[in-house]
Each structure stands twice: as C-alpha cells, then as structure tokens.
C-alpha cells in the first residue's frame, strides 16, 4: 500500500481542504511534481545540489561522551545541523525550488517559524534567481531577529504577521492568502510535512534522504539497523524524513518528540498528538490543539520551530496505526538537553532538536549499552543562543 492515496489521504488524515481557488493549482502542482520525479535530468540536478551545495551526506556521529554521561544505550546523531543553512530544511527547499523553476514560477513564498525554513527558502531563491517573500509571525520576528536579518541579506522580503497568535500558524494563514491571490505566478514553498496534498507527500519525499542515509550509515557503523530513532515534531518534517525509510522495519522504534512547553497540565504547550483532537487546519485533516468549538488553540514552545498547534497527517496516521510513538519534552528539559549536548560533545543543537536530544538521553538511561539510538539532530543552535541565555536568567549583549 502506498500512502498517500490518490486523494492525498493517509487513512482518514490529510486530504485537500482548501478554498476552490487553490484546487486546480494543487492538482497542477501534483502533476508537475510527479513529472519532475520521472525526469532523470531533474533528479540529477537535485542530487548534485544536495551533494555539492547542501553538503550531503551528513554524518552519522557516535556521541561517545554523551553516551557515557547517560550510562546506557549508545546515542548517535544524524547531523542535519551540518547542512548548508544549518538545518535539514534545505533538503525540501532545494527540491521544491527546482520544481518552482521547472514550473516557470518567478516568485516563491514561504512561511517560517524559527526562521530556518525561511532562511533556506531565501537561500534557494538567491541560488536560482527567484523573487522571495517570507511570512513570519511577529512574535517569531522578535525572538529570531538574526534569522530575519539573514533572510534580508539573501534578498528576501520578510513580512511580519500581526494576526492571531503572531506565530507559525498565522504565518501559514498569511502565506496561503498570498498564494490564493497570486497563484498564477507564485509558487508556495511550504516547509512542513503538512498542508494540502501534495505537500505532505513532497516534503516527506524530499526529506526521506535523511532516513535513507541513516540506514546505509547504520549498516556500516553498527552492522545493523538502529533500535530506536528519535526526532522532534512540530509539523514533523525532519521526523518523517528520518522515520519514513524505516516504517517497514518493525523492530526499529520510531519516537516523535513534541514540545511540552511549560507542561501538558498547564495547557501551555504544542503537543497536538498528546492533547489534541482530530480536525482540519491549513488544508489537511490531522490532530490539532483546539477548543470544544473548533477554534484553533495557540501553541506554546520555547522553540519557535515547534510552536504549531497541529502535526503532519502522516504522523497522525502512523500514530493511530501504532507505528510511531509520541512523547513530550518541556521547555526546561529541552534547555537541559541543549546544555548537555553542548558541554558533552561541543555540539550546540537547535532548541527544536534539543527536544529530541533530551528524550534520547532519558531513554538511553533505561536501555543497555547494546542498544543504539539515533537522534535526528535537525538543526544547529546558533539562532537560539539568546533564547537559552534568557531561559538561564542571563543576558547576551
């Protein structure tokens, strides 16, 4: 069985819940994507950029000191933080930007939370000579000022979105409104494994290189597949990329780590798998944080990239199927994970990835040394230094 089906469904999840204006363009996008995948010249160009521009393959690194620090299972890091622009986001962006160019769209738009997807999109737009506009929640513009300036240096226009919760959810709303308005000339370069079909499919496919490399590298390094994969989940793009090539390997546990914010009990979190209900937002059916009246709740997380009240539809499907497990890590635990990896390995993770690190550390302590855990280290932490400082009660001048 291949998922999604022809309607873009992963079981009951996914689909295409959008205004009519976008329906034909989404169908056109799906056709263009499938045609591009069949075109060997296009595939060669993407593979070339992933290797020579993005820096793939990224290493699978054995975190020896962190492993000893935890005193249990061995912890390996899939180093997406070493990709060009500092996060896994570039994998998907290069694929979609090449698709935009192939579709003769001269303008790309994107939403961004932490700014990593926005920076990656601005980067690819500079590389391919495309006009670029990035929508970013006003609160995220404030807490990720460095990434905002990076995007501007790259030639992108950054538009702060003041509506609603002023975070990623509202940035997606505004990007969708822009797309509805300029759909004939503009390519919407969506950065999470969500949205209307075919986005969850495309984003997954472009990130699945993470999991494919991990399989190959684990065979070489470990002589077998790892026992557990752990990745953070906001919309779920790096997690689905890491997990997807392992779905058929029933003995490999696949664990998504959601942002627990200030704790699930406080209501101030972003754990839609743990505390959400099924609903429709941004074009797809999935688990959502919402009130009884179907109004979307505001997510809370120390990490802007996980600050989203929903999750990709394929994650929802595999959760209900019992294949993916979901846990949550609080802001405080994420900061501890950040500090531990920084001090033990000299690797500063993005606060998003620090959620996965924190859970891997917790899990490693319960498992014997013979077990191997791979952490999807989705991004590097330079952008979060001031946020961490604030969380530790210090100030960076």
Partner 1 sequence: MKDPGTKSRLAATFADLRARGERALVAYLTAGDPSLGATERLVREAAARGADIVELGVPFSDPIADGPVIQRAAMRALERGISVARVLETVATLRAETAVPFVLLTYYNPVLAFGLKAFARTAADAGVDGVIVADLPPEEAGPFAAEAEAAGLDLVHLVAPTSTPARVRLIARRSRGFIYVVSLTGVTGERRELPRDLEAQITALRRVTTKPVCVGFGIGHPDQVAAVGRLADGVIVGSAIVRLIEERAGSPSLVKDVGDFIAALKEPLREAGLGDLPQTPPARRRPR
Residue 89 and residue 252: Cα distance in Å, rounded? 24
Region of 94-102, 172-180, 212-220, 382-390 interacting with partner 1 (CB under 8 A):
172-180
> Coil, strand or helix: which one is 285?
strand
As to burial, measured by CB atoms within 10 angstroms (0-12 exposed, 13-18 middle, 19+ buried), residue 58 is buried
CA distance 30 to 302: 35
How many angstroms separate the CA atoms of 99 and 79, rounded?
26
CA distance to 67, 218, 357, 359, per residue, from 61 (Å): 12, 10, 13, 18
Per CB under 8 A, 267 contacts partner 1: no
336, exposed or middle or buried, with CB in 10 Å at 0-12, 13-18, 19+? middle
| Residue 39 Cβ vs partner 1, minimum distance, rounded to whole Å | 24
Binding flag, residue 290, partner 1 (CB under 8 A): yes
Residue ranges of E strands in the chain:
9-10, 13-17, 60-62, 74-79, 107-112, 131-137, 157-161, 186-188, 228-232, 253-261, 277-281, 283-288, 324-330, 372-377
Q: Does 151 bind partner 1 (CB under 8 A)?
A: no
Contact region with partner 1 (CB under 8 A), list: 42-50, 132-140, 178-186, 348-356: 178-186
- Quick check: 295 binds partner 1 (CB under 8 A)? yes
Task: Choose which of 283, 376, 379, 381 interacts with partner 1 (CB under 8 A).
Answer: 283
Neighbours of 320 (CB within 10 A): 16
Determine which residue in the list 120, 151, 232, 288 makes contact with partner 1, applying CB under 8 A: 288
User: 181 or 266, CB closer to partner 1?
Assistant: 181
Q: According to the binding rule CB under 8 A, does residue 160 interact with partner 1?
A: no
Among 25, 59, 155, 263, the residue binding partner 1 under the rule CB under 8 A is 25
Task: Give the side-chain half-sphere CA count within 13 A for 375.
Answer: 34
Residue with smaller CB distance to partner 1, 170 or 352: 170
* Residue 280 within binding range of partner 1, rule CB under 8 A: yes
Q: Minimum Å distance from CB 369 to partner 1?
A: 47
Site for partner 1 in 310-349 (CB under 8 A): none
Compute the distance between CA of residue 188 and CA of residue 180 in angstroms, rounded to an integer. 10
User: Is residue 36 a contact residue for partner 1 (CB under 8 A)?
Assistant: no
**Out of 282, 355, 359, 383, which residue is the one contacting partner 1 (CB under 8 A)?**
282
Backbone torsion region of residue 279, taken as left when φ is above 0, otherwise alpha when ψ lies between -120 and 50, otherwise beta: beta
Residue 147 near residue 116, CB atoms below 8 Å: yes
* Min dist. Cβ of residue 236 to partner 1 (A): 19
Burial class (CB in 10 A: 0-12, 13-18, 19+), 177: middle
DSSP tag of 56 = P
Give yes or no for a contact between 81 and 349, defined as CB atoms under 8 angstroms apart: yes
Please give the positions annotated as active site.
89, 111, 378
What is the rounded distance in angstroms from the CA atom of residue 234 to the CA atom of residue 221?
A: 29
Which region among 22-30, 110-118, 127-135, 147-155 touches partner 1 (by CB under 8 A)?
Answer: 22-30
CA angle, 382 then 187 then 11, to 5° = 85
Q: Does 41 bind partner 1 (CB under 8 A)?
A: no
| 79 three-class SS | strand
Which position among 128, 183, 222, 367 is part of the footprint of partner 1 (CB under 8 A)?
Answer: 183
Asked if 272 is part of the footprint of partner 1 (rule: CB under 8 A), the reply reads no
The reply to whether 171 sits near partner 1 by the rule CB under 8 A is no
Residue (43 or 183) nearer to partner 1, CB: 183
Total interface residues for partner 1 by CB under 8 A: 39
Q: Is 228 in the site for partner 1 (CB under 8 A)?
A: no
Specify the residue, 174 or 384, whose C-beta has the smaller distance to partner 1: 174
What SS3 class is residue 316? helix
- The region of 45-53, 164-172, 248-256, 327-335 touching partner 1 under the rule CB under 8 A is 164-172
* Among 86-94, 124-132, 293-301, 374-382, the segment contacting partner 1 (CB under 8 A): 293-301
Options 17, 42, 53, 62; binder of partner 1; rule CB under 8 A: 17
Window of 31-39, 211-219, 231-239, 283-291 that interacts with partner 1 by CB under 8 A: 283-291
Which residues are at the interface with partner 1 (CB under 8 A)? 7, 15-25, 27, 163-164, 169-170, 173, 176-177, 180-184, 277-283, 288, 290, 292-296
């Amino acid at each position: 069985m291949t998922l999604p089906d022809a309607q873009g469904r992963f079981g009951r999840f996914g689909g295409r819940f959008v205004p009519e204006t976008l329906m034909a363009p989404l169908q056109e996008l799906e056709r263009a994507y499938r045609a591009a995948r069949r075109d060997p010249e296009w595939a060669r160009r993407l593979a070339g950029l992933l290797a020579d521009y993005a820096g793939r393959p990224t290493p699978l690194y054995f975190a020896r000191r962190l492993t000893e620090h935890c005193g249990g299972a061995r912890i390996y890091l899939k180093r997406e933080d070493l990709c060009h622009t500092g996060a896994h986001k570039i994998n998907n962006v290069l694929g979609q930007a090449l698709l935009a160019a192939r579709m003769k769209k001269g303008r790309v738009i994107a939403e961004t939370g932490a700014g990593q997807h926005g920076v990656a999109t601005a980067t690819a737009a500079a590389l391919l000579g495309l006009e670029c506009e990035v929508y970013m929640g006003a609160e995220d513009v404030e807490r990720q000022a460095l990434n905002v300036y990076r995007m501007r240096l790259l030639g992108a226009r950054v538009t702060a979105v003041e509506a609603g919760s002023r975070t990623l959810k509202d940035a997606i709303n505004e990007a969708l409104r822009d797309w509805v308005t300029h759909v004939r000339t503009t390519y919407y370069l969506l950065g999470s494994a969500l949205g209307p079909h075919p986005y969850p499919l495309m984003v997954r496919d472009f990130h699945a290189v993470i999991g494919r490399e991990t399989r190959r590298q684990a065979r070489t390094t470990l002589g077998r597949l790892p026992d557990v994969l752990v990745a953070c989940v906001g919309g779920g793009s790096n997690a689905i990329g890491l997990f997807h090539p392992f779905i058929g390997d029933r003995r490999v546990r696949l664990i998504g780590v959601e942002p627990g914010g200030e704790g699930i009990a406080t209501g101030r979190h972003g754990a839609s798998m743990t505390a959400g209900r099924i609903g429709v937002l941004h074009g797809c059916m999935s688990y959502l944080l919402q009130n009884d009246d179907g109004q979307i709740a505001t997510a809370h997380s120390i990490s802007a990239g996980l600050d989203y009240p929903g999750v990709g539809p394929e994650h929802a499907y595999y959760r209900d199927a019992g294949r993916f497990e979901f846990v949550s890590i609080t802001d405080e635990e994420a900061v501890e994970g950040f500090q531990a990896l920084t001090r033990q390995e000299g690797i500063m993770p993005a606060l998003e990835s620090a959620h996965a690190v924190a859970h891997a550390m917790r899990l490693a302590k319960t498992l014997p040394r013979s077990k191997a855990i791979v952490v999807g280290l989705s991004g590097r932490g330079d952008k979060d230094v001031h946020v961490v400082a604030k969380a530790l009660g210090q100030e960076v001048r």
